[in-house]
Amino acid sequence: MEKKKLILSVILPVIVSLLIIALDWIVCVDRLFHRAHLFMIHGILELFVTFLFPAAPVIYGWITKNRLGSILVGAIPIMGFLLLLNFGYFYPSPDLERIIRVVAYGVCLSTVAGLEGYFASKTIIPIAILLGVLWFFIFLVGID
């Protein structure tokens, strides 16, 4: 029974994280909305996706109280999305300096988002919200 509970506490957050990454990919990278001339909708969806990164671990942790799962929901999506966005720097000729910068930026954002989820799962919501504000500050500073 413990093994089944552990598997469910890991699989569900990974699925939620993959759904967030897929939504981010569709909205931010695919440019489907640019081709359809739906610029206003595209801007609103990009803003929603930007708020989804720090909000997802807080909401997931607050609802489920699952510490491990909320940490995963915080850490996986932003790191996965950053690696997908920067895949061109990794292959075919890796730019080592850019790879190190992207990974360091992603680790900072993932750590803060994971801590958000952890504190939300312990129902310390004010600290989770403050970490969300810190996440936005780091996110905006790192945009280049």
What's the mean pLDDT when you consider all of the chain? 83
Q: Which residues contact 49 (CB under 8 A, 6 or more apart)?
A: 23, 24, 27, 28
- CA distances to 39, 82, 107, 109 from 95, rounded to whole Å, are 33, 15, 18, 21
120, 54 in Cβ contact below 8 A? no
Task: Find the domain containing 78 and state its range.
Answer: 2-142
Residue 130 has φ and ψ, to the nearest 5°, of: -60, -40
Overall number of domains in the chain: 1
Cα dihedral: 20, 52, 114, 127 (round 10): -160
Please tell me the predicted confidence (pLDDT) of residue 31: 58
pTM over 0.85: no
Yes or no: say if 128 and 120 are a contact pair by the CB < 8 Å rule. yes
Q: Which of 29-33, 57-61, 120-124 has the lowest mean pLDDT?
A: 29-33
The residue written with tokens 């695919």 in the block is 30
Reference 108, options 135, 130, 133; nearest CA is 135
